[in-house]
Amino acid sequence: MKDSELLRYSRHILLPQIDLAGQEALLRSHVAIIGLGGLGSPAALYLASSGVGRLTLVDDDTVELGNLQRQIIHSETNLGDLKVQSARERLASINSHAEVQIVDRRLDEQGLIALANEASVIVDCTDNFDTRHLVNIACVKTRTPLVSAAAIRFEGQLMIWDPAVPNSPCYACLYPSDQPIEMSCSTTGVAAPLVGVMGGLQAMETLKLIAGISSDHTGRLTTYDGVFNAWNSFAFKKKQDCSACGTETN
């Protein structure tokens, strides 16, 4: 590790759970972030600043005025720009050593599988049910860790799928694909700091997965109530007939 890297990441290296080995793992890692909106903004900022060596940003949308209330990676000067391009410019201003690749189109299942095959971790920051299931399928098929979150109104949730943990349930075990959930912050609203809380949590869990910090966080849905500042964790199990990871369907 170069002297400049030792200085930049010194606060990480001081942590015994990370140390030099963990920071070097971050520098070698490749994280793909699907969605550069409210969740993807803080997740990308913290992962780039933490020293993730390679980031792939996936989003087919452009920056609109209504995004700026919560999508902190973008600014007024980026209105009309592709979100992935705006995000890449911002990340370069924070850490010019991070390699940032962009995909400015919506990936289908095969495209997501190809991306997951290359990535150390997939961070799902999307805001629709169908895409979340496609991302989950890609991670299950390639055995790539998945960090997924959602935020709406004052409520957030997070779940992790880690193939290193035996019998780890996936997103479809919790939310079956044949039972769609139709909610959108464009119709119900979302508190701006909420996506910062949940996107930052995604970055934290991604960092821990890469650095090998021991924590069996699978099989749990973590929820946050921003009104009452309350956290809860609910256990759920792998379904043998799950459409994505079940032994009866594969």
How far apart CA 42 and CA 75 sit, in angstroms, is 14
Catalytic residue among 125, 185, 242, 245: 185
Q: Which residues of 7-26 are buried (b: 16+ CB within 10 A; e: fewer)?
A: ebbeebbeeeebeeebbbbb
What's the number of CA atoms in the CB half-sphere (13 Å) around residue 161?
A: 30
Tell me if residue 173 is catalytic: no
How far apart CA 138 and CA 117 sit, in angstroms, is 9
Q: Is 155 strand, coil or helix?
A: strand
**Ordered alpha helix ranges (H), 119-236:** 129-142, 171-174, 185-188, 192-211
How far apart CA 219 and CA 34 sit, in angstroms, is 22
**Ordered alpha helix ranges (H), the chain:** 3-8, 10-13, 19-28, 40-50, 83-94, 109-118, 129-142, 171-174, 185-188, 192-211
Phi, psi (degrees; rounded to nearest 5) at 20: -65, -40
Contact 125, 109 (CB under 8 A): no
Angle between helices 109-118 and 129-142 (to 10 degrees): 50
Contact 207, 49 (CB under 8 A): no
Task: Just list the catalytic residues.
Answer: 185
